[in-house]
């Protein structure tokens, strides 16, 4: 695979220019471009620049309103609500976090519910920011249905990630958990389909619920839940939080995050931010330190988020190798 190395600034600039060229306002394009660079830095290429042509296509076909203005309300003292207005999730989350973070510090705990939204990219990118603010961040986002229930074969819930980011004294997450309810993110199967590569057994199932190595067959069937029925349980939990609790569209009714059919997906996100000082009696840092040490002291053991953290540091110093074919697709949009 031919690659070209770009700095994080170059990645952000390329994403920004492509989004604006497609009809996205600069205000909406900037947070999405910033997140794209951060995602590439973390080594999650499937959610990075590879998604920019899809985002641009969705702006042009009306699946996303690139000119949308999020509408923020505060229905209760510690609850923030944002209507993304069928625009990108990132500016809606930014608007919500501006109110959520000070509220969590004031109240001890606060929630942010986002409706009429879209794919929010890597969920851990957002909870990471809550941890940087010194808060325990929990995040949920639902997606178009792609996982069948236990014993069934028809998808009813999406890959539905959840994320938890615990703050550390240095302003970075002590632990960052970010995982989907499926064995692998659907975007990884889509990436293999675009590249004409087979997928490993255990990633996806055909229409009859049988394992497949053909990504196209898997995309027509269902994603394999992580841990069997336990993965389905996680997907249902996230569906409750991100759709039922926000008033967003259920995965069974949401249009796909790929292709041009179906109009805006109108999915949702839900975030909970907690100030550890309000609940731990000042013992949060000590307890987290003991927990982390119990893992770090074991040879070969690692914490959730370690891999991304290492790649992030390397990317900041040396840039990121980007697939040339991906760059050519984006450059053709400019």
* Residue of 12, 40, 174, 188 marked active site: 188
Nearest residue to 235 via CA among 298, 160, 307? 160
Cβ contacts of 227-234, under 8 Å, gap ≥ 24:
228/150, 229/150, 231/147, 231/181, 231/182, 231/183, 232/147, 232/149, 232/150, 232/157, 232/181, 234/160, 234/162, 234/181
* Residue of 47, 58, 126, 192 marked active site: 47
Structure tokens at 131: 């941890």
Phi, psi (rounded to 5 degrees) for 117? -110, -160
Q: Is 115 a catalytic residue?
A: no
Q: How far apart are CA 144 and CA 266, in angstroms?
A: 10
**CB-based burial label for 56 (10 Å; 0-12, 13-18, 19+):** buried
Q: How far apart are CA 248 and CA 70, in angstroms?
A: 14
Residue 16: how many other CB atoms lie within 10 Å = 21
Q: Is 46 a catalytic residue?
A: yes
Q: Is 47 a catalytic residue?
A: yes
Nearest residue to 143 via CA among 161, 130, 125? 161
Which residue do the tokens 């170059």 mark?
10
Asked if 94 and 31 count as a contact pair (C-beta separation under 8 A), the reply is: yes
Nearby residues of 260 by Cβ (< 8 Å), 6 or more positions away: 57, 58, 61, 63
* Residue of 46, 153, 216, 253 marked active site: 46
Give the active site residues.
46-47, 188
């Amino acid at each position: 695979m031919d690659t070209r190395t770009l700095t994080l600034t170059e990645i952000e600039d390329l994403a920004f220019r492509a989004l604006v060229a497609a009809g996205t306002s600069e205000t909406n394009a900037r947070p999405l471009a910033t997140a794209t660079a951060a995602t590439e830095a973390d080594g999650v290429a499937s959610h990075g620049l590879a998604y920019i042509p899809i985002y641009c296509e969705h702006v042009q076909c009306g699946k996303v309103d690139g000119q949308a203005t999020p509408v923020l309300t505060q229905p209760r003292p510690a609850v923030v609500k944002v209507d993304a207005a069928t625009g990108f999730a990132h500016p809606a989350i930014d608007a919500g976090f501006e109110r959520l973070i000070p509220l969590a510090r004031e109240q001890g705990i606060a929630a942010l519910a986002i409706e009429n939204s879209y794919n929010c990219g890597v969920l851990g990118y957002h909870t990471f920011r809550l941890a940087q603010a010194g808060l325990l961040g929990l995040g949920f986002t639902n997606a178009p249905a792609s996982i069948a229930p236990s014993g069934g074969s028809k998808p009813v819930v999406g890959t539905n990630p959840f994320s938890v980011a615990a703050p550390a004294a240095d302003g970075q997450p002590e632990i960052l958990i970010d995982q989907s309810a499926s064995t692998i993110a659907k975007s990884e199967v889509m990436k293999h389909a675009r590249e004409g590569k087979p997928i490993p057994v255990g990633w996806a199932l055909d229409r009859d619920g049988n394992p497949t190595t053909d990504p196209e067959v898997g995309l027509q069937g269902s994603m394999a839940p992580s841990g069997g029925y336990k993965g389905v349980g996680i997907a249902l939990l996230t569906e409750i939080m991100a759709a039922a609790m926000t008033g967003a569209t259920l995965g069974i009714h949401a249009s796909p995050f790929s292709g041009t059919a179906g109009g805006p997906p109108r999915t949702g996100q839900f975030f909970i931010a907690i100030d550890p000082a309000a609940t731990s009696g000042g013992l949060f840092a000590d307890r987290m330190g003991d927990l982390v040490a119990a893992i770090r002291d074991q040879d070969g053991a690692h914490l959730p988020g370690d891999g991304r953290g290492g790649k992030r540091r390397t990317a900041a110093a040396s840039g990121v190798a980007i697939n040339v074919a991906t760059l050519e697709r984006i450059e053709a949009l400019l």
